[in-house]
Structures are given as structure tokens and as C-alpha cells.
Amino acid sequence: MDVDLIFKIAAIGIVTAVLSRILYQSGKDEFAVITGIAGTAIVLMMLVGMIAKLFDTVKTMFQL
């Protein structure tokens, strides 16, 4: 029950959103887009580990 992962991802999301908003205001639109993509990529890396864990659990559980 690693619940803290949800909060970690939400925190990254909020930080990315705020950062891209700031960058938009200061006129650097392309950096804002890059920050958005970077935030999503970081979260995706954490997510892939969890998905692999789920598939392993199901595989061992059901002898798939």
C-alpha cells in the first residue's frame, strides 16, 4: 500500500503546472512546453515500475 506514490505524482503535477504557468507569463513559451513534457516523463518512469509490478503479481498469482 505505497500510498505516498500518489502524493508524489500529484506534487510533480502541481509543480509542473505552476512552472509552465510562470514560464508562459514570462514569455518563454517553448520552455513551458518542455517543462510540461519533462514532468510527464518523470511521472511516466515512476508509473512504468508500478505497472511492471502489477503484471508480475498477476503472473505469479494466476500461474499465467
Partner 1 sequence: MDIMKIVGIGIIATMLAVILREEKPEIALQVSIVTGLIIFIFVISKLNSVIEVLKYFASKTNIDLMYFTIILKVIAIAYITEFGAQVCKDAGEGSIASKIEFGGKVLIMIMAIPILAALMDVITKLMV
List of residues contacting partner 1 (CB under 8 A): 1-3, 5-7, 9-10, 12-14, 16-17, 20-21, 36, 39-40, 43-44, 46-47, 50-51, 53-55, 57-59, 61-64
Smaller CB separation from partner 1, 17 or 34: 17
Least separation in angstroms between CB 1 and partner 1: 6
Q: Let me know the angle formed at the C-alpha of 43 by 42 and 47, rounded to the nearest 5 degrees.
A: 120
Nearest distance in Å: CB 35, partner 1: 10
Q: How far is the CB of 28 from partner 1 (least distance, A)?
A: 17
Write the DSSP symbol of residue 20.
Answer: H
Grid cell in block for residue 7: 502524493
Asked if residue 50 lies in contact with residue 44, where contact means CB atoms within 8 angstroms, the answer is no
Closest CA to 6 of 43, 42, 55: 43
